[in-house]
A and B are shown apart, each in its own frame.
Chain A
């Protein structure tokens, strides 16, 4: 009887396991295997190079520059984007007028197509005919007008800010959901005990929101490190290598250089780095919750 029940349970999870196996595990193994070969993606023959591709990645300066660029965009997203998302969620959680309207407005950027957002911002930031420069000149700040996307000093920051604008809605939604799960009685009890708003925020909101913040942080890191569509639409990875990110490098290896094996090795290495970052974040959050 027990065996039958166990078998039944296995049968129920089998479809999910099969889907996971076919669409995740087997491709992962296959990609790893391809990473051990020198292959142009067309010829039926592949040359085994062992760990050669992975060793080459270690000395690929442009790859590491792209990692640093993605890290910078992620840093902006973790700070600016998530701080904005939290503040807006906190504001919308309070009794303010038209809060449902704001909730909808704040969630518009994430649902827009990345290509459309990229092209619209490219138009706004255009050095010659862009709206931003037009406003700066009109408002009497002509010295601030510049080629935002083709100037190496500003290109990456501008891309990071637009990425944060595009993505803060997700954090906003999760933070708002988290804030709404905090029992109102806690705030009422604190108020009765004489706590002001700031004290309640520090002693109730912040501690109870840590698990949510960790989740948002992990999702932000994973999403931002893998960003590329917006970057293609805005700068194409230029000027020079200033807005190159790892996914663009993988695409360049695959399409530009026809080095499928190397691209697969880059993909695997990148995946491992992301997993390691997520694991560290998770451990860190677990530790901070325990203390």
Chain B
């Protein structure tokens, strides 16, 4: 018996350690976090396998926080899948590229006179691009493929507008009109604007929109570079807008700890007049109330000096693992995924805006309103410089403090500037090391 065991055991060990037989066509693994797109992705994977014989495994890891952690851990272990997405700032994206985790897609994009590249909205591609002389030290090029696009704007409930005696087809165009509606909302004992401001990045988004409107892009960039202080009157004006909004009653109560899911529920249930949300909300609201009567609008401008800007561009993007042995197949799959028919299918199934310019014909009127905002779209990931995370945190948390009446805009501006100076000093020290 013993001999039999000793004889068979090495065979099992050898069989276990032997490399798996290659079956010709590779299997591509894709990691993503998009719960709402999972079934559409699976459907497309089936179609792709039927067409090419290449199996595509879409693996969903949600929520996005958990996904983000998983991707970082896999990067540390050099164990990333063939295709994945990155959630985070441009600085993180740059680190992934510099660590060799992401393939430079420029040669593929520019093949056949830029055939693939020209299919996309320029702003969608811009988010995945590193320009020449970028401050991150990344070789210029395109490193990601946009799957869809998004804009973050305001939406308003047309039925509640009627109740307030307002014209449902004429949303407020100026900040003064917006505040005036706030007074009416307060008088009617309704809830004003809801949003996920407990998750702070959405506060940052609206504050940046107004910073662009009040002082223009150049001054915002100069502030990030440390050339203009946050105590500048224009920045105090931006911060003061939040106090004005709070005082007028245009902000819903409890906004500072509200998560976006709750904000979406409140708006979809007709309990809030406005919401500040991304174009993905069209799908969310439809799921909650298909008959919700609402429209999209740009945030009302606070100044005529500069145009109003909104955050937008690539909604979600996929990157190809630079170390993957299946990278050529992965690129081929992404090229197919972003073709007109697949993009139209994804857009229809998930009610997101397609990244492919040729696939926008079948979108709903509200989604078309979001799409029209693309001309005003910008995003921190295309500015070429990134603000220090502690500064962003101090700024966003500071706005929460203004809204709850704990601090004044001037106090917050001084605190943010102090954080900025500390971070600049640290960066200088790091450079000297």
Chain A positions within 8 Å of B, measured between CB atoms, are: 38, 40-44, 47, 126-129, 147, 149-152, 155, 234-236, 238-241, 252, 255-259
Q: CA separation between A186 and B88, bound complex, in Å? A: 64
Among A42, A44, A150, A252, chain B packs the most CB atoms within 10 A around the CB of: A42
Contact between A256 and B389, CB atoms less than 8 A apart: yes
Q: Give the interface SS of chain B, mostly helix, strand, loop or mixed.
A: helix
Residues in B neighbouring A129, C-beta threshold 8 A:
271
Contact between A255 and B254, CB atoms less than 8 A apart: no
Q: Give the interface SS of chain A, mostly helix, strand, loop or mixed.
A: loop
B360 → chain A, closest Cβ, in Å? 34
Contact between B254 and A238, CB atoms less than 8 A apart: no
Residues in B neighbouring A240, C-beta threshold 8 A:
256, 397-398, 400-401, 404, 406
Residues in B neighbouring A258, C-beta threshold 8 A:
88-89, 91-92, 95, 389
Residues in B neighbouring A126, C-beta threshold 8 A:
254
Residues in B neighbouring A234, C-beta threshold 8 A:
257
* Pick from B65, B89, B253, B397: contact of A147, CB under 8 Å: B253
* Pick from A42, A128, A152: contact of B191, CB under 8 Å: A128
Instruction: Write out, one digit per residue, whether chain B residues 64-78 have a CB within 8 A of any chain A CB (1) or not (0).
Output: 010011001001100
Residues in B neighbouring A238, C-beta threshold 8 A:
198, 200, 256-257, 397, 400
5 new A-B contacts at CB < 8 Å, known A40-B95, A43-B99, A234-B257: A42-B75, A42-B95, A127-B254, A239-B404, A240-B397
Range, interface on chain B: 35 or more
Contact between A236 and B254, CB atoms less than 8 A apart: no
B416 at the interface (CB under 8 A from A): no
Residues in B neighbouring A128, C-beta threshold 8 A:
191, 252-254, 271
Residues in A neighbouring B198, C-beta threshold 8 A:
235-236, 238
Can you give 14 contacting A-B residue pairs, CB < 8 Å? A42-B72, A127-B254, A128-B191, A147-B253, A149-B254, A150-B256, A236-B259, A239-B256, A239-B400, A240-B400, A240-B406, A256-B393, A258-B91, A258-B95
B98 at the interface (CB under 8 A from A): yes
Contact between A236 and B199, CB atoms less than 8 A apart: yes
B433 at the interface (CB under 8 A from A): yes
Contact between B404 and A150, CB atoms less than 8 A apart: yes
**CB proximity to A under 8 Å, residues B388-408:** 389-390, 393, 397-398, 400-401, 403-404, 406
- Closest residue of chain A to B98, judged by CB? A43
In the complex where A40-B95, A42-B72 touch, is A150 in contact with B401 (Cβ < 8 A)? no
Residues in B neighbouring A151, C-beta threshold 8 A:
404
B268 at the interface (CB under 8 A from A): no
Contact between B406 and A152, CB atoms less than 8 A apart: yes
A24 → chain B, closest Cβ, in Å? 19
Chain B positions within 8 Å of A, measured between CB atoms, are: 65, 68-69, 72, 75-76, 88-89, 91-92, 95-96, 98-99, 101, 191, 198-200, 252-259, 271, 389-390, 393, 397-398, 400-401, 403-404, 406, 430, 433
Contact between B72 and A41, CB atoms less than 8 A apart: yes
A6 → chain B, closest Cβ, in Å? 30
Contact between A255 and B406, CB atoms less than 8 A apart: no
Residues in B neighbouring A44, C-beta threshold 8 A:
99
Contact between B68 and A255, CB atoms less than 8 A apart: yes
Q: CA separation between A288 and B398, bound complex, in Å? A: 46
Q: CA separation between A108 and B256, bound complex, in Å? A: 31
A195 → chain B, closest Cβ, in Å? 52
- Closest residue of chain A to B73, judged by CB? A41
Among A127, A128, A240, chain B packs the most CB atoms within 10 A around the CB of: A240
- Closest residue of chain B to A251, judged by CB? B65
Among B253, B257, B430, chain A packs the most CB atoms within 10 A around the CB of: B257
- Closest residue of chain A to B75, judged by CB? A42
Contact between A257 and B95, CB atoms less than 8 A apart: no
B124 → chain A, closest Cβ, in Å? 24
Q: CA separation between A234 and B406, bound complex, in Å? A: 20
A152 → chain B, closest Cβ, in Å? 6
Residues in B neighbouring A155, C-beta threshold 8 A:
257
- Closest residue of chain A to B76, judged by CB? A41
Residues in B neighbouring A38, C-beta threshold 8 A:
430
Q: CA separation between A126 and B404, bound complex, in Å? A: 16
* Pick from B88, B92, B101, B404: contact of A152, CB under 8 Å: B404
B98 → chain A, closest Cβ, in Å? 6
